[in-house]
Structure 1
Amino acid sequence: MPRIKVIIPAYNEEHSIANVINDIPKIVDEVIVVNNNSNDETAKNAIKAGATVLTETNKGYGFACLKGLDYIAAHSEKPDIIVFLDGDYSDYPEELSKLVKPIIDDNIDLVIGARTKALREPHSMTPQQVFGNWLATFLMKFMYGARFTDLGPFRAIKYQKLLDLHMEDKTYGWTVEMQLKALKQKLSYIEVPVKYKQRIGVSKVSGTIKGSIFAGLIILGWIFKYSIKK
């Protein structure tokens, strides 16, 4: 089996983080929770559940993901596959096996967990999330010929291919940056339909108008930035 590590950015997810960790398949070599300046028991509960816990005081999804990658880079034994997963229990961690299968069996570089309508629990995605995903993927298809239908955070990628992307976004543009750079570098990719349910707690992004607008502007900024480069 390939070596698989999971990175989970987490901000105030004390009620959900243990559930997420406990449902991750045993094929995973290490679960890394990046405590992103939480002021609750997220870190404590993650440690109890068996995860490696890192601390990133700079708030931002990208900051947390980069912290996890820095930790991995500092160790001599490198993984083959990195899986990104949210800490709010909206995804089904046990479906990780489905995400890594195309990489293992078919040598695919990047796999996105697509939150298809048929598999989504009612009201698990806000109207602004649904519209934002549609708009972003429509623009990516129109401008770059992409086949993406979602910017879902539950995803798997070959470790070396991820390093080659030279990820830099510190906030909510992390997912779209990865997909845009994968297109630019002509990585092979596929979407795998995954189930999705209502998260535990309130979303820090889509749960507020300010968060939704901020995330939307960052995502659109990345898309049009690549249009100019092209």
Structure 2
Amino acid sequence: MPKNIKVIIPAYNEEASIGKVIAEIPDIVSEIIVVNNNSTDTTAIVAKEAGATVLFEPNPGYGNACLKGMKYISEEKIKPEIVVFLDGDYSDYPSELTKIIAPILEDNIDFVVGARVKHLRENGSMTFPQRFGNGLATKLMALFFNSKFTDLGPFRAIKYEKLLALNMEDKTYGWTVEMQLKALKKKYTYAEVPVKYKNRIGVSKVSGTIKGAIFAGVKILSWIFKYSFKK
């Protein structure tokens, strides 16, 4: 078992859910990092009281929050072996973190994505825009890159050194697909692990609005087409 696993949780106005997420993360994790992405509620207070390290990222955007967490880790003396990304809305089952990291520990896989497969999803937990966007994106990735990914699930784990080598840059909704595309380009070994998925607490900032869903879709497709024509 690795001695150092860090979890990064981007969070924007998740005061009702963040404590539940933190409480269910397995004890094998050495540090839980919640990045408060300019929340206007008590997300930061709840996260700190639950035992997380809380960072503040004033610039809105899922990618900005993830990059803030990575910057914090890069400044620590002892670097983790594995970094796990997890949403703060309680739609995932944090206890399944052990399943997510298992292929890395047991088979030396570089990168693992939790796949929100239909038979493990609670009814209504993924909106039509989410399902459509995931399906289109993964089909295009298969077409252009011979990818085997079936989902862009946010619950994921990656070896820290491999994460650094990706030079992640997307600041908003393209973060997940950027990671997968760059992993494919670098020929990382990867796997998907089926995970359970339930209705989130609160309203989604992406799929919960037409504007958010369209913007996320555009970002995802722009990354795919950018990399499909990039040598």
TM-score, length-scaled by structure 1: 1.00
**Counterpart of 1:84?**
85
Query: Which residue does the alignment assign to 2:108?
Result: 107
Q: Which residue of 1 aligns with 2:199?
A: 198
Q: How does 1:118-133 map to 2 (within 5 A)?
A: 118-133=119-134
Q: How does 1:142-221 map to 2 (within 5 A)?
A: 142-221=143-222
1:60 maps to 61
SS of 1:122 mapped into structure 2: coil
Matching residue of 2:70: 69
- Per-residue CA deviation, residues 191-220 of structure 1 (Å, 9 max, x unaligned), is 000000000000000000000000000000
Work out the CA distance in 1 between the residues paired with 2:225 and 2:62.
21
Deviations 1:24-62 (A, max 9, x none): 000000000000000000000000100000000000000
Distance 2:210 2:22 in 1: 30
**Partner amino acid, structure 2, of 1:101:** A
What is the rounded CA distance, in whole Å, between the counterparts of 1:43 and 1:70 in structure 2?
18
For the residues of structure 2 that align with 1:139 and 1:102, how far apart are their CA atoms?
25
Which AA in structure 2 matches 1:11? Answer: Y
Structure 1 unmatched ranges of 5 or more: none
Give CA-to-partner distance per residue, 1:117-158, whole Å, 9 cap, x none: 000000000011000000000000011100000000000000
CA distance in 2, matches of 1:80, 1:224: 32
The Cα RMSD (Å) is 0.4
| TM score, norm. by length of structure 2 | 0.99
Instruction: Specify the alignment match of 2:14 in structure 1.
Output: 13
**How many pairs align?**
230
Q: Write the deviation string for residues 64-106 of structure 1: whole angstroms up to 9, x where unpaired.
A: 0000000000111000000000000000000000000110110
- How many Å separate the matches in 1 of 2:76 and 2:39? 26
Residue 141 of structure 1 pairs with residue 163 of structure 2:
no
Q: C-alpha deviations, 1:133-189, integer Å up to 9, x for none?
A: 000000000111000000000000000000000000000000000000000000000
TM-superposed CA distance for 1:227, in Å, is 1.1
Distance in 1 between the 2:92 and 2:178 partners?
Answer: 21
1:228, CA displacement in angstroms? Answer: 1.4
Aligned to 1:47: 48
SS in 1 for 2:229: helix
- 1:113 is matched by which residue type in structure 2? G
1:91 and 1:229 map into 2 onto residues whose CA distance is 34
CA distance in 1, matches of 2:7, 2:93: 14
Q: What's the CA shift for 1:114?
A: 0.0
**Letter matched to residue 144 of structure 1:** F
**Moved runs in structure 1, 4+ residues, more than 4 A?**
none
